[in-house]
Chain A
């Protein structure tokens, strides 16, 4: 109990967030849990991109392509080979991860700018590449994935808690995504604060210095690409299952941009950042549209900007504003607000007792 009381505030926050996420489908409608499923999926994809961009300092504007690969792997396995959908998720992740690993090898030779260029081009051509092997991918018509039915144990547990109607497949998928997201975030958390994470950050901040300390530059950079693609592949697979349909137009350039926006808004090189990023990228266009439309005091012209321009304008403006004013994203803002508050509170307490506050530089 004593240890519990002294644990940092972030653990309490983590528990609260967990309870919220676990309990959510029991209080909201099935449709709303499907929306939050997409938030979780975005968070996973953003976490993957964050490992690549935030920790290893390589850039990818083409993560939508990795998601497409993951989604189509699942769709093809389920639809054509009748593989169990749960089994296809790790297959999709591993396949995408291997592809990402091998794409990481030519990426080693490219500077950040060229890598951005090449991956952006990859994102642009992805839809037309998918259309081509029509036998396999169904061309422009895409592939339908039937919604998976919740197993009996989940169904009975769910009805026991809510006392309401049976579990829908949307609610079941929410829990599938939640468990996978938790595992993947736990893995990422372990990855970034141990040896590989330190190595990646060392490479990001100074490749030559890292090499001088004996860090295997090529190995870690390709590894980061592979892991990042693995996350994107899993996210893509879950995305396909949730939407129940994959087609070339499911994976436009805008999807790659959206993932990048999420990584930047949430906060690069942080573990909670991608969760915030997932929430913001998914809800921002929807909420801003509904909110602005419902407000009378906003002039009709301004409101119609939001309606017609869609999420593009707000995404673009947010990207620029965050990069200029808060390069560490929302998570960075929260952390600096928290430390500022803590310092104020502690300073006030110690002024009362007459002791000088400890100099943070010597502690």
Chain B
């Protein structure tokens, strides 16, 4: 029982990482109906920037907000330069462009920072605390707390501010919003910036565990896809809940299901994606979309 709880807690911690990346995916999906295949690579690149800042002697708590600002700016620039010319193109084009972006960012990171895995500092201590008989490290609790905070901040921004209202309006009714004076295209850019910053958080949470290298997020993005699909791809809350569920499920499957082990955990995420898409395509928190033909 104690071991089971242990697995659940560490599953929640990895789930927190998946959740914040899934949240970034949801933000871009909400802005323009697109799954950003480059989200993981952008997060990885931002984490490298954080590492460079920390290597230059900045403390973690200064490097973190600075990285988020840089990631935000990077997201806006990417939207303006790469995405905007194909904004109205069919989904296929957009998917291919984000894949190209992923490949490009991955290659650039490999060139600039090399492929040798690097350790990344964490602000949380590795010492453990006893919760209901399970040993949870401050590292795990910190990851869970950070993803919770990010979710609350995003929720407040989207639901309680005028900017959030404009963001939501621009994505749901672009034409009507334009008539009301909202600069829709810039709202999309802001959406990309926000997603990029949220993704950077997940990268910085993942790096101490996975070790930072250009392919670090390649598996995390699959888990994040699973999380976003499970939670309902347009729901921020769903992304976080989905992330935690995926984290726990994958961890438990790795520990208890015979034949899964460490190397097939990714296949579990794949199975979750397929199962959700076939059984409940709108996910746990999504709403069925009606399409007029």
- Chain A residues in contact with chain B, CB under 8 A? 53, 57, 59, 61, 106, 109-114, 116-118, 120-122, 124-125, 128-129, 131-132, 208, 253, 257, 260-261, 264, 305, 308-313, 315-320, 323-324, 327
Q: Is there an interface contact between B263 and A309, defined as CB atoms closer than 8 Å? A: no
User: Least Cβ distance of B236 to chain A in Å?
Assistant: 18
* B266 cross-chain contacts in A, Cβ below 8 A: 124-125, 128
Q: Is there an interface contact between B35 and A131, defined as CB atoms closer than 8 Å? A: no
Task: Select which of B85, B108, B225 is within 8 A of A324 by beta carbon.
Answer: B85
Q: Is there an interface contact between B110 and A129, defined as CB atoms closer than 8 Å? A: no
Task: Say yes or no: is B73 at the interface (Cβ < 8 Å to chain A).
Answer: no
For the A-B complex, the count of residue pairs with Cβ-Cβ distances under 8 Å equals: 133
Task: Say yes or no: is B229 at the interface (Cβ < 8 Å to chain A).
Answer: yes
Q: Is there an interface contact between B100 and A124, defined as CB atoms closer than 8 Å? A: no
Task: Say yes or no: is B61 at the interface (Cβ < 8 Å to chain A).
Answer: no
User: Least Cβ distance of A150 to chain B in Å?
Assistant: 38
Total contacting residues, chain B, CB less than 8 A: 45
Task: Say yes or no: is B167 at the interface (Cβ < 8 Å to chain A).
Answer: no
Task: Say yes or no: is B158 at the interface (Cβ < 8 Å to chain A).
Answer: no
Q: Is there an interface contact between A327 and B93, defined as CB atoms closer than 8 Å? A: yes
Q: Is there an interface contact between A117 and B267, defined as CB atoms closer than 8 Å? A: no
Which residues of B in the span 142-161 have a Cβ within 8 Å of any Cβ on A?
none
* A120 cross-chain contacts in B, Cβ below 8 A: 37, 222, 225
User: Least Cβ distance of B148 to chain A in Å?
Assistant: 26
* B293 cross-chain contacts in A, Cβ below 8 A: 208
Which of B122-130, B183-191, B272-280 lies on the face that meets chain A? B272-280
Give the 4 A-B residue pairs with the shortest CB-CB distance, closest first.
A316-B104, A312-B107, A319-B100, A316-B103
Q: Is there an interface contact between A121 and B269, defined as CB atoms closer than 8 Å? A: yes
Q: Is there an interface contact between A324 and B99, defined as CB atoms closer than 8 Å? A: no
Complex: A260 Cα to B100 Cα, angstroms:
10
Task: Select which of B102, B105, B111, B267 is within 8 A of A125 by beta carbon.
Answer: B267
Query: Known contacts A57-B92, A257-B99, A324-B85; is A317 also within 8 Å of B274 by CB?
Result: no
Q: Is there an interface contact between B96 and A264, defined as CB atoms closer than 8 Å? A: yes
Q: Is there an interface contact between B270 and A121, defined as CB atoms closer than 8 Å? A: yes
**For residue B267, which residue of chain A has the nearest CB?**
A125
Task: Say yes or no: is B6 at the interface (Cβ < 8 Å to chain A).
Answer: no
Q: Is there an interface contact between A125 and B270, defined as CB atoms closer than 8 Å? A: yes
Task: Select which of B92, B101, B106, B218 is within 8 A of A53 by beta carbon.
Answer: B92
Which residues of B in the span 229-287 have a Cβ within 8 Å of any Cβ on A?
229, 263-264, 266-267, 269-270, 273-274, 277-278, 281
Q: Is there an interface contact between A316 and B100, defined as CB atoms closer than 8 Å? A: yes
User: Least Cβ distance of B75 to chain A in Å?
Assistant: 16
Beyond A112-B95, A319-B96, 17 additional pairs, beta carbon < 8 A: A114-B229, A117-B35, A118-B270, A118-B274, A120-B222, A121-B269, A124-B222, A128-B264, A128-B266, A257-B99, A309-B107, A310-B107, A312-B106, A313-B107, A316-B105, A316-B107, A323-B86
Q: Is there an interface contact between A128 and B267, defined as CB atoms closer than 8 Å? A: yes
Task: Say yes or no: is B179 at the interface (Cβ < 8 Å to chain A).
Answer: no
User: Least Cβ distance of B65 to chain A in Å?
Assistant: 29
* B110 cross-chain contacts in A, Cβ below 8 A: 308-310, 312
* B278 cross-chain contacts in A, Cβ below 8 A: 106, 109
Q: Is there an interface contact between A260 and B91, defined as CB atoms closer than 8 Å? A: no
* B229 cross-chain contacts in A, Cβ below 8 A: 114, 117
Complex: A118 Cα to B102 Cα, angstroms:
17
Task: Say yes or no: is B52 at the interface (Cβ < 8 Å to chain A).
Answer: no
* B108 cross-chain contacts in A, Cβ below 8 A: 309, 313
Q: Is there an interface contact between A113 and B95, defined as CB atoms closer than 8 Å? A: yes
* B102 cross-chain contacts in A, Cβ below 8 A: 316
Complex: A106 Cα to B270 Cα, angstroms:
14
